[in-house]
């Protein structure tokens, strides 16, 4: 598998936009978390502890999907409005497979697709 040199990941707890920088163009993919309001309501009926455990399982699965994509990178910028980026970075730091990947974190607001693409291109210039 080829090694992607640079990738930006805008993320919150519900979805992530991965943006692979190739020359001067962006290849974007969307990774969604399985957390939904309807799922929360069903889980809450079974109890608050059950809901909390279910949310943790879903969140870990979401971060695992993202880690598989990031594993093929050399330099990654995680950005977005929530603490999800820091939570993912903390998970990646504990895994030796990510030791050679430069991972940085930036706080940003919600962005349109064009703003995200511009941010990634400017960041890696």
The pLDDT tens digits for 67-88 are 999 998 999 999 999 999 999 9
How many residues are there in the chain? 125
Please, what is the average pLDDT of the chain? 87
On whether the CB atoms of residues 4 and 76 are closer than 8 A, the answer is: no
Where is pLDDT greater, at 46 or 89?
A: 89
On whether the CB atoms of residues 66 and 31 are closer than 8 A, the answer is: yes
The pLDDT-based confidence of 39 (bands split at 50, 70, 90) is low
**Exposure string over 56-89, b if 16+ CB within 10 A, otherwise e:** eebbeebbeebeebbbebebbbbbbeeebbebbb
Reported as type and span, the H/E element at residue 90 is helix 84-93
For residues 53 and 30, give the distance between their C-alpha atoms in angstroms, rounded to a whole number.
Answer: 25
Per-residue pLDDT, 1: 47
The pLDDT tens digits for 10-31 are 999 889 999 999 887 899 999 9
Pair type for strands 25-32 and 102-107: unpaired
For the packed helices 48-70 and 37-45, what is the interaxial angle rounded to 10 degrees? 140
Domain locations in the chain? 4-123
The pLDDT-based confidence of 115 (bands split at 50, 70, 90) is very high
CATH architecture type of domain 4-123: 2-Layer Sandwich (3.30)
Phi–psi pair at 34, nearest 5 degrees:
-85, 5
């Amino acid at each position: 598998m080829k090694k992607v040199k640079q990738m930006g990941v805008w993320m919150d707890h519900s979805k992530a936009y991965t943006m692979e920088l190739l020359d001067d163009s962006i290849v974007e993919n969307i990774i969604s978390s399985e957390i939904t309001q309807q799922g929360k309501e069903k889980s809450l009926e079974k109890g608050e502890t059950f809901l909390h455990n279910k949310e943790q399982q879903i969140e870990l699965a979401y971060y695992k999907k993202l880690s598989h994509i990031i594993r093929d990178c050399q330099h990654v910028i995680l950005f977005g409005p929530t603490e999800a980026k820091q939570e993912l970075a903390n998970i990646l730091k504990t895994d030796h497979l990510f030791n050679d990947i430069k991972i940085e974190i930036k706080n940003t607001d919600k962005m349109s697709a064009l703003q995200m693409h511009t941010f990634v291109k400017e960041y890696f210039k």
